[in-house]
Amino acid sequence: MGYMKKYHEWLENPIIDNATKEELRSIAENEKEIEDRFYKDLEFGTAGLRGVIGAGSNRMNLYTLGKATQGLANYIIKQGKEAMEKGVAIAYDSRHMSPEFAERAALVLNGNGIKAFLFSELQPTPVLSFTIRHLGTISGIVITASHNPSEYNGYKVYWEDGAQVALERANGITGEIDRINDFNQIKALDRKEALEAGLLNVIGEEVLKAYIDRVVALSLNPDIIKGSGKDLKIIYTPLHGSGNKPVRRVLKETGFENVAVVPEQEQPDPDFSTVGYPNPEERRVFELAIKMAQNSGNDTDIIVGTDPDCDRVGVIVKDDLGEYIALNGNQIGVLLVDYILGSMKRSGRLLQDGVIIKTVVTSKLGEKIAQSYGVEVINTLTGFKFIGERMKEFEETGSHTFLFGYEESYGYLAGDFVRDKDAVSATLLICEMAAWYKSKGMSLYEGLLELWERHGYFCEGLKSMEMEGKAGMRKIRKLMRGLRDNPPRLLSGKKVSIIDDYQEGKSYNLLEGTAGDIELPASDVLRYTIEDDSRFAIRPSGTEPKIKLYFSVRGQDLGDARERLQRLKDDVTKHIEN
CA distances 56 to 38, 310, 368, Å, are 6, 29, 49
Q: What is the pLDDT confidence band of residue 351, given thresholds at 50, 70 and 90?
A: very high
DSSP, res 199: -
Three-state DSSP state, 125: helix
DSSP, res 286: G
List 304's β-bridge partners, or say none: 236, 315
Secondary structure (DSSP) of 35-54: HHHHSSPPP--SSEEEEEBS
C-beta neighbour count of 299 within 10 angstroms: 8
Provide, rounded to the nearest whole percent, the portion of the chain with pLDDT above 70.
99
Average pLDDT over residues 273-289: 95
Secondary structure (DSSP) of 289-339: HHHHHHHTTS---EEEEE-TTS--EEEEEE-TTS-EEEEPHHHHHHHHHHH
Contact status, residue 425 vs residue 436, Cβ threshold 8 Å? no
- Residue 337 is predicted with a pLDDT of 98
Three-state DSSP state, 196: helix
**Does 393 have pLDDT greater than 80?**
yes
- Residue 91 is predicted with a pLDDT of 98
* Residue with the larger pLDDT of the pair 472 and 292: 292
Q: Which helix (H) or strand (E) holds 3?
A: helix 3-12
Q: Give the range among 5-19, 400-414, 510-524 with minimum mean pLDDT.
A: 510-524
**Does 47 have pLDDT greater than 80?**
no
Q: Which residues contact 578 (CB under 8 A, 6 or more apart)?
A: none
Q: Which helix (H) or strand (E) holds 546?
A: strand 546-555
- Residue 82 is predicted with a pLDDT of 97
> Where along the chain do its domains lie?
40-205, 228-455, 458-577
Average pLDDT over residues 16-25: 97
Backbone φ, ψ for residue 192 (5° rounding):
-65, -45
Secondary structure (DSSP) of 408-477: TTTEEEESSS--S--HHHHHHHHHHHHHHHHHTT--HHHHHHHHHHHH-EEEEEEEEEE--HHHHHHHHH
- One fold for 40-205 and 228-455: yes
- Give catalytic status of residue 146 as yes or no: yes
List 520's β-bridge partners, or say none: none
Chain-wide mean pLDDT for the chain? 95
Secondary structure (DSSP) of 347-379: TT---TTEEEEEETTS-THHHHHHHHTT-EEEE
pLDDT tens for 490-508 read 988 899 999 999 999 999 9
pLDDT tens for 429-481 read 999 999 999 999 999 999 999 999 999 999 999 988 888 777 888 888 888 99
- Residue 273 is predicted with a pLDDT of 97
Under CATH, which number does the domain 458-577 receive? 3.30.310.50
Three-state DSSP state, 112: coil
Cα dihedral value 406, 412, 414, 418, nearest 10: -110
Average pLDDT over residues 188-203: 97
C-beta neighbour count of 240 within 10 angstroms: 27
**Does 147 have pLDDT greater than 70?**
yes
**Does 272 have pLDDT greater than 70?**
yes
- Residue 470 is predicted with a pLDDT of 74
Fold of 40-205: Alpha-D-Glucose-1,6-Bisphosphate; Chain A, domain 3 (3.40.120)
Contact status, residue 119 vs residue 110, Cβ threshold 8 Å? no
**Does 413 have pLDDT greater than 90?**
yes
Secondary structure (DSSP) of 71-89: HHHHHHHTT-HHHHHH-EE
Nearest alpha-carbon partner for 366 in 315, 424, 412: 412
d(CA 53, CA 70): 19
pLDDT tens for 554-563 read 999 999 999 9
d(CA 118, CA 106): 7
d(CA 56, CA 61): 8
Under CATH, which number does the domain 228-455 receive? 3.40.120.10
Q: Which residues contact 262 (CB under 8 A, 6 or more apart)?
A: 235, 236, 237, 288, 289, 292
- Residue 1 is predicted with a pLDDT of 66
- Residue 465 is predicted with a pLDDT of 85
- Residue 546 is predicted with a pLDDT of 83
Tell me the whole-structure pTM to 2 decimals. 0.94
Q: Give the range among 60-64, 193-197, 447-451, 466-470 with minimum mean pLDDT.
A: 466-470
Average pLDDT over residues 327-345: 98
d(CA 113, CA 45): 25
Three-state DSSP state, 122: coil
Q: Which of 146, 242, 343, 425 is catalytic?
A: 146
d(CA 157, CA 126): 13
Nearest alpha-carbon partner for 381 in 271, 508, 523: 523
d(CA 377, CA 334): 12
Q: Are strands 259-261 and 234-237 parallel, antiparallel or unpaired?
A: parallel
pLDDT tens for 103-119 read 999 999 999 999 999 99
**Does 542 have pLDDT greater than 80?**
no
CA distances 516 to 457, 499, 500, 526, 560, Å, are 30, 11, 9, 15, 33
**Does 129 have pLDDT greater than 90?**
yes
Three-state DSSP state, 19: helix
- Residue 450 is predicted with a pLDDT of 97
- Residue 9 is predicted with a pLDDT of 95
- Residue 543 is predicted with a pLDDT of 66
